[in-house]
Every structure is written in structure tokens, then in C-alpha cells.
Amino acid sequence: MASNEQPLADVSFLTVAEVATKMRVSKMTVYRLVHNGELPAVRVGRSFRVPENAVQTYLRQSFFDADTG
């Protein structure tokens, strides 16, 4: 395990619906992000679970500053 990784037992997972609510997008957008590999997820049966820290990382990396040209 890399030094920057959390132990799996400490990872908090969100459903696709919870991610969509948190990001204020549709569930289809979340599925698209997962299938395109932009948002990591774990498949549990027929459902996906997304690590909460992955959502925070995605949003941080996707942040757009309108002041920069």
C-alpha cells in the first residue's frame, strides 16, 4: 500500500445517487464519469460505489477559475 492511500476499512463509499446529489448533477453524468474512467468506483453486484475522497479529488482537479485567462 502506498503511503498516501487510506486503509480500505477507513474508506467511505457513496452510491451513484449520493455522488450525483453531492455534485449537483444527474446520475447519468456520474455513470458517464465512472465508465470513462474519470471517477474511480468499485462494482458491488450490479451497483457502483464511489470512494468519497475520489469525489473530492475529482472536484478539486476540475475546479475552473474564471479569473485566469
For the whole prediction, is pTM greater than 0.85? no
Take residue 23 and report the three cell numbers written for it: 455534485
Average pLDDT over residues 53-63: 92
- Kindly tell me if the per-residue pLDDT of 55 is higher than 60: yes
pLDDT of residue 64: 76
Residue 20 is predicted with a pLDDT of 98
| CA-based R_g, the chain, Å | 13
Calculate the alpha carbon distances from 52 to 41, 65, 66 in Å.
10, 23, 26
- Tens of pLDDT, residue by residue over 3-44, are 556 677 788 999 999 999 999 999 999 999 999 999 999 999
